Copies of this chain bind each other. A is one copy, B any other.
């Protein structure tokens, strides 16, 4: 269609629209138009465009010029098709007025039915249908909806009059009211309207219509719609379309009815018509739940012809839309009318099944099929989860730090968790926060719950790495270690009490919960295989142990994008050496503990590289500040103060005072911006050398044993060419020496983490000395915003999101305009300097679909995420590529 031709066109008859005009006509409007276009029986109507709604707000909440005339013209066309007249005393046309936004916002906006009734037409309606009761029931429903939606009179006031009327008549249900009672009720309603709005109920049908259209526009900005859009990240600027359609009635008798149906089972995906219907009823009756609707299969017996027609229409729609449809229909006196069709919402299991089946049925190509599965669907299938049908006693909510459900007996320390686990008791570890010393307890527990710390707190990071459910930062929880209790919302939870967490939603639940297992079907595997073949980006996993690496491979990772070496420092067998190394005063004193650690690190790397045989493994050198490996300052301080006062153990006091002084010396005001990352490598080159030797030795051994290793040595927190130069020179020298000494050759590379703005700004020169780049977008977000994640999420992030200063939490969804701008600059400058530079991302964003899409768009080579997010990322990477190709095609 020529765009210019349609300039100023504000109203489209259904037969003028089509499916791809969704952004102009809204979801419902384009669906009705498309159904009309392909010849399905749709009551005639017209759609007022979303553009008109935007105009309405722009010009100060009034109809744009010309709208009234276009509506009247549309009305004339509907009259002609229905052979009825709007406002006619004998054969009145009645209308429905419904909102229809671009993205489905079910129940958020308003609907008005039976519009066109007034004191005159109601009588015509009564005569025409020979059913006075029906006509007055329709009239009173109309006044009620109009009063509520347009005149903003409280629904409750109408309900009160209705109840009063039923009591007076001595009946229980609405449908038992007689025509006479309804006539009286209409009078009472009209009086209510005058009392509350100060003017009579409008009798002029055109006035009714215009007022209703305007009310739908207004409903776009009602409170619940705004909240819904905020929650679902829908822009407030889109506006809604308004659909004006000739009424059909499913409640005119036993040859009438109404129903909804999915073309397939939305829970399982099974290919079977799934839905329900009611005879002699309107849509609202189904919702009201007064009569129990019947399964759609029974329609076959009750109205065989209608059923056949519906099955055929449903099949047509599914083939037409190439997706499972969610359809509303009404049967009026033996005629089937289609009132709505849209892609049906479904569970993860159903999404995978439907997509797979539609390919088998030659309806979809694999590329189309993967676009029908949402990343959230895959995620649903990844974790053991709470049975959705279970009744839960939710007592608090924290941050959903690591997905999955866990139940267990509450323990308040790591040792108890380990002890209970040895006894075969399932536990839930509840702590204010966790530290490296709690690792054994975290391994032993079913899940972890903390009252402090954000999505990157120790508990969260470690739990995600383990794939263990975790809820953290649950402020409401007051933990008293001494009393061994946790108090929340009036409940006192004692050690040993059963508590559950849902790491997917952050819920904390009293008692045990029924969980269901993760589900990996052959259809699921096939979908992800298709995804891999349709992706440009590779998906790697973050893994710190051989077990994690093996699991990552199982989940389809094509390499390790981040091995954190610091978690290896925390084992009970290592920490003492690590602490001796840190407390050493000179490089000479560090030598001996370093040689211990090197041996252990070599075994770690040996295991991971072996597990990833043939795939690249990015190993990040030590990143956290060294003081993280020392005992907690406060606990040592408290002990020192106690020992001083009691004078009990002078030797211990002296030791702890020395330790305290050392910890104090290493204290940092802002550890996130402190002495960490490759800054450690600059001040303590021996520590980095030790790690590099461990990597190289492990690689040499494996190469000799016939494995193919591809170690990528990653330097964290780089900010300058000269840093990289310092490390690369040392690493190359060590590698050369080793290869000559051991007479072995393997490929290795040395790359920069891009996680500080300066690294992004100087990416061109960093690329010259780097074999690869890997974005650490968590730190890059922290520094670009100047937000410490641990502090922001507990203290001000909520206010930022509530006040809409930020649309999304940038730690969850990559900030494209700020952080993304730096990333784009990095890729451009990096590839200009070195066209084949390998670039990836290994932060949390690497597993978040919206962020993955951006990574694809700016040309990254891989994303890396925790093993449990690998399948989601595989799908998202493919979708980004397919969407990009589609966009490229359609822009041609």
| Closest B residue, CB atoms, query A779 | B786
C-alpha gap A671/B790 in the complex (Å): 10
Q: In the bound complex, do residue B682 and residue A817 qualify as a contact, i.e. CB atoms below 8 Å apart? A: no
Chain B proximity of A221: nearest CB distance (Å): 18
> Which residues of the partner chain B approach A785 to less than 8 Å between Cβ atoms?
719, 756, 758
Query: Quick one: which of A683, A757, A782, A818 has the most chain B CB within 10 A?
Result: A757
Answer whether residue A231 sits at the interface, using C-beta atoms and an 8 A cutoff: no
Which among A322-330, A388-396, A641-649, A843-851 touches the partner chain?
A641-649
Those of A781-818 within 8 Å (CB) of chain B: 782-788, 790-792, 795-796, 799-800, 803-806, 815, 817-818
Chain A interface residue bracket vs B: 35 or more
C-alpha gap A299/B800 in the complex (Å): 80
C-alpha gap A674/B788 in the complex (Å): 6
- Given known contacts A756-B785, A757-B818, is B683 in contact with A799 (CB within 8 Å)? yes
Which among A196-204, A595-603, A720-728, A738-746 touches the partner chain?
A720-728
Chain B proximity of A891: nearest CB distance (Å): 26
C-alpha gap A719/B788 in the complex (Å): 14
Q: What is the 8 Å Cβ interface bit string for chain A, positions 734-765, against chain B (1 contact, 0 not)? A: 00000000000000000000011110011000
Answer whether residue A717 sits at the interface, using C-beta atoms and an 8 A cutoff: yes
Q: In the bound complex, do residue B758 and residue A784 qualify as a contact, i.e. CB atoms below 8 Å apart? A: yes
C-alpha gap A35/B668 in the complex (Å): 58
Answer whether residue A173 sits at the interface, using C-beta atoms and an 8 A cutoff: no
Those of A615-652 within 8 Å (CB) of chain B: 634, 637-638, 641-642, 645-646
Those of A10-67 within 8 Å (CB) of chain B: none
CB within 8 A of A786: which of B783, B795, B817? B783
Q: In the bound complex, do residue B761 and residue A822 qualify as a contact, i.e. CB atoms below 8 Å apart? A: yes
C-alpha gap A638/B641 in the complex (Å): 7
> Which residues of the partner chain B approach A821 to less than 8 Å between Cβ atoms?
761
C-alpha gap A672/B818 in the complex (Å): 20
Q: In the bound complex, do residue B784 and residue A757 qualify as a contact, i.e. CB atoms below 8 Å apart? A: yes
Q: In the bound complex, do residue B795 and residue A674 qualify as a contact, i.e. CB atoms below 8 Å apart? A: yes
Q: In the bound complex, do residue A669 and residue B790 qualify as a contact, i.e. CB atoms below 8 Å apart? A: yes
CB within 8 A of A637: which of B638, B670, B726? B638
C-alpha gap A726/B758 in the complex (Å): 30
> Which residues of the partner chain B approach A669 to less than 8 Å between Cβ atoms?
671-672, 788, 790-791
C-alpha gap A818/B719 in the complex (Å): 9
Q: In the bound complex, do residue A796 and residue B670 qualify as a contact, i.e. CB atoms below 8 Å apart? A: no
Q: In the bound complex, do residue B758 and residue A675 qualify as a contact, i.e. CB atoms below 8 Å apart? A: no
Answer whether residue A673 sits at the interface, using C-beta atoms and an 8 A cutoff: yes
C-alpha gap A803/B682 in the complex (Å): 8
Chain B proximity of A241: nearest CB distance (Å): 28
Q: In the bound complex, do residue A783 and residue B796 qualify as a contact, i.e. CB atoms below 8 Å apart? A: no
| Closest B residue, CB atoms, query A790 | B669
- Given known contacts A783-B784, A791-B668, is B818 in contact with A762 (CB within 8 Å)? yes
Chain B proximity of A61: nearest CB distance (Å): 20
Q: In the bound complex, do residue A795 and residue B683 qualify as a contact, i.e. CB atoms below 8 Å apart? A: yes
- Given known contacts A641-B641, A818-B719, is B672 in contact with A799 (CB within 8 Å)? no
Those of A767-786 within 8 Å (CB) of chain B: 779, 782-786
Interface positions of A (Cβ within 8 A of B) = 634, 637-638, 641-642, 645-646, 668-675, 679, 682-683, 717, 719-720, 722-723, 726, 755-758, 761-762, 779, 782-788, 790-792, 795-796, 799-800, 803-806, 815, 817-819, 821-822
- CB-based closest 6 A-B pairs: A673-B788, A670-B788, A758-B818, A756-B786, A674-B791, A757-B757
A-B contact pairs, 8 of them (CB 8 A): A670-B673, A670-B790, A719-B818, A720-B805, A722-B803, A722-B804, A726-B803, A761-B818
